[in-house]
């Protein structure tokens, strides 16, 4: 359904070119959920914006393909994107969107807009569909007439999720959709995503820095580091058999509630993306660094079916 090949999205800033997404390749089937994990600044949101054809300036897609049902989104004009892709095929829950609802509009007015614009629906038809969707996300009709400030954080997030589903997209991208929520509400929202995944058979890209949240929903996981996907595989492969030193370090740094396992950390900090380290971008923090790591970029190697790793430890094996 979605095939991303060698995607490069760069920000052309005065201080230099920020290679926020650099040569990223993955694919996603119908009904599959891909989790994208990575630390702050690793390029997760930039990747998401690229898929919507929506990169904020001074950024733009500098190379690669985004094939959506065979058509290349990266090559489409703004007009084509608007007519064919955005919200209809691909919709997005933006990072922090629940706090960006327009304060002066009722929930009904905010939600009806895309129907009236994109689908030429009447207000009445739009309302019926909205009520249906509200029900789907666990809210009743009374929310139609409410304003955003009258809603709790969890309720606002439900509205934002409903809005992403409005036009029956094939792919929903959710960028940190639970990060600002408390743990109980987070669990409720994750249950809602699980229900949507099951009922709609929709594809999703689920972006978060929190690997535990990824484990709650994702069938496949892409681990990003400094603009690159360093490891890609099924959830089982990534969580139970991680191969890249970064993925291994990240998993070991998560404290667990149900065990007292000692946690560790990855020394140092992620690099700046204007002048990333040569060779493997992770090499200054890698416990296994070799000479070749400082010199050559490691290729993506398939270590078992569907499990890809970009690390010289693997490619030299």
Binding residues for ligand ATP, rule: CB under 6 A, are: 11, 13, 18, 20, 38, 40-46, 56, 58-59, 95, 209, 273
Asked whether 280 and 297 are in contact (CB, 8 A), the reply is: yes
Distance CA 298, CA 312 (A): 5
The reply to whether 45 sits near Mg ion by the rule CB under 5 A is yes
Among another protein, ligand SF4, ligand ATP, none, the one that 201 touches (CB under a kind-dependent 5 to 8 A) is none
Task: Give the bridge partners for 167, in sequence order.
Answer: none
Residue 293 interaction partner, one of another protein, ligand SF4, ligand ATP, none, beta carbon < 5-8 Å per kind: ligand SF4
Site string for ligand SF4, 152-191 (x = CB under 6 A): ----------------------------------------
- Using CB under 6 A as the binding rule, whether residue 299 contacts ligand SF4 is answered as no
| Radius of gyration of the CA atoms of the chain, in A | 20
Confirm or reject binding of residue 92 to another protein (CB under 8 A).
no
Q: Which of 288, 302, 304, 316 binds ligand SF4 (CB under 6 A)?
A: 288
Q: How far apart are the first and last CA of the chain?
A: 33
Question: Token digits for 142?
Answer: 């009374």
Instruction: Choose the contact partner of 312 out of ligand SF4, another protein, Mg ion, none; CB within 5 to 8 A by kind.
Output: ligand SF4
DSSP secondary structure code for residue 154 in this structure: H
Count Cα atoms within 13 angstroms, Cβ side, for 209: 11
- Provide the total of helices (H) and of strands (E) in the chain, helices listed first: 11, 12
Q: What is the full DSSP assignment across 81-102? A: IIIIIBTTTEEEE-TTGGG-S-
| String of contacts with another protein for each residue 215-254, x by CB under 8 A | xxxxx--------------xxx-xxx--------xxx-xx
Q: Which is nearer to Mg ion, 227 or 298 (CB)?
A: 227
107 binds, among ligand ATP, ligand SF4, another protein, none (CB under 5 to 8 A by kind): none
């Amino acid at each position: 359904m979605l095939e991303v090949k060698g995607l490069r999205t760069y920000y052309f800033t005065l201080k230099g070119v920020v290679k926020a997404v650099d040569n990223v390749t993955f694919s996603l089937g119908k009904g599959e959920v891909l989790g994208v994990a990575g630390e702050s600044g690793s390029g997760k949101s930039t990747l998401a914006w690229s898929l919507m054809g929506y990169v904020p300036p001074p950024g733009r897609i500098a190379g690669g393909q985004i094939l959506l049902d065979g058509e290349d989104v990266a090559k489409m004009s703004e007009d084509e994107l608007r007519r064919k892709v955005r919200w209809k095929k691909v919709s997005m829950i933006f990072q922090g969107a629940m706090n960006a609802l327009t304060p002066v509009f009722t929930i009904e007015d905010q939600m009806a807009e895309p129907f009236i614009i994109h689908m030429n629906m009447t207000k009445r038809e739009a309302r019926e569909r909205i009520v249906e969707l509200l029900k789907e996300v666990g809210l009743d009709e009374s929310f139609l007439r409410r304003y955003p400030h009258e809603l709790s954080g969890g309720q606002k997030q439900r509205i934002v999720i409903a809005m992403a589903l409005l036009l029956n997209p094939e792919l929903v991208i959710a960028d940190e959709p639970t990060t600002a929520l408390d743990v109980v509400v987070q669990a409720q929202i994750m249950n809602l995503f699980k229900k949507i995944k099951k009922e709609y058979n929709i594809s999703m890209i689920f972006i978060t820095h929190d690997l535990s949240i990824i484990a709650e929903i994702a069938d496949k996981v892409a681990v990003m580091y400094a603009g690159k996907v360093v490891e890609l595989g099924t959830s089982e492969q990534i969580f139970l058999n991680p191969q890249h030193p970064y993925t291994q370090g990240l998993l070991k740094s998560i404290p667990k509630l149900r065990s007292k396992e000692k946690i560790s950390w990855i020394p140092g900090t992620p690099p700046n993306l204007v002048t990333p380290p040569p060779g493997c971008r992770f090499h200054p923090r890698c416990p296994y660094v070799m000479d070749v790591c400082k010199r050559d970029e490691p290729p993506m190697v398939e270590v078992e079916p569907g499990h890809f790793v970009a690390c010289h430890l693997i490619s030299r094996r």
